[in-house]
Structure 1
Amino acid sequence: MSSTTRPHRTTQLTTTPPPHTTLLRRIQDSSPNPSQLIGFLTLAIVGGILLLLTGFSITAVVLGFIVFAPIIVLTSPFWLPIFVLVFVPLVGFLCLCGFGVAAVAVLSWVYRYSRGLHPPGSDRFDYARNRIVTTAREVKDYAKEYGGYLHSKVKDAAPGA
């Protein structure tokens, strides 16, 4: 048997690339692909346009306020009565409509529940009703038991009572 032995390497030579090479390689590895670049450019263009439109809108509002402020101040005695005559009845009418819709919804739910059609939420309603009945029964039983105890204590304290 012949055995060949390889020379054992005790040291490994490692060369580190120059620092500028690793920086360039890192930049190339983390650079965006073309579709990401197009997406970023689209985002930047749309953002710039929206920012420009926002500036135009703010400028228009400020200029409009400057132009119309004297007119608003001169005609302000008319605005409060107009507001009261238009806004208050409008709010009252909308509240009345809202309360009417709520009443119809409640009556519809009660009708469906009483007919046994199990409308949404009826299981929670049944659970709450059962809890109230059970609690009332427990309180009644406790009151009977505790009331008898107090009645016997009163008789002990006042035998003629």
Structure 2
Amino acid sequence: MDSREFRRRGKEMVDYIADYLDGIEGRPVYPDVEPGYLRALIPTTAPQEPETYEDIIRDIEKIIMPGVTHWHSPYFFAYFPTASSYPAMLADMLCGAIGCIGFSWKSTRGCEEHATGIWRQGLRCDCSREMYSGQQACAKQTRAPALRGELSCLHLIHS
């Protein structure tokens, strides 16, 4: 895949995702499949030639989606739909493109500088205990509402 096809397929994928989320209420919330259902639907050997993008998307709908629990469905009452959002999906695309591994300042300076800045903001709003324990209580109780978005995403920096 070159950058030209990537642009085209990326736009198609964004449309697929938007259509999926726009129509999610029409899908069954919980899959009606038996354990092992997928085994009969996929080949026993890897293909010798690559499949087309269109075939892959068809396979997702025909093979994968029947086994998916649709967590963001308005009819799924077990959890609140907070696992993703449109901005988070765009951020995932950017993170995938950059592909940095931020485990030290030498490996990815921008990532570590950002983490340090968020850590300092946490100290300023007196929530260091919650930040270090991995809880998000600080983001909910902080006196600095502008920091809430960054503080609640702290876990993403080092995951």
Q: What TM-score results when the alignment is normalised by the length of structure 1? A: 0.19
Larger fraction in helix:
1
The structure having more radius of gyration, on CA atoms, is 1
Q: What TM-score results when the alignment is normalised by the length of structure 2? A: 0.20
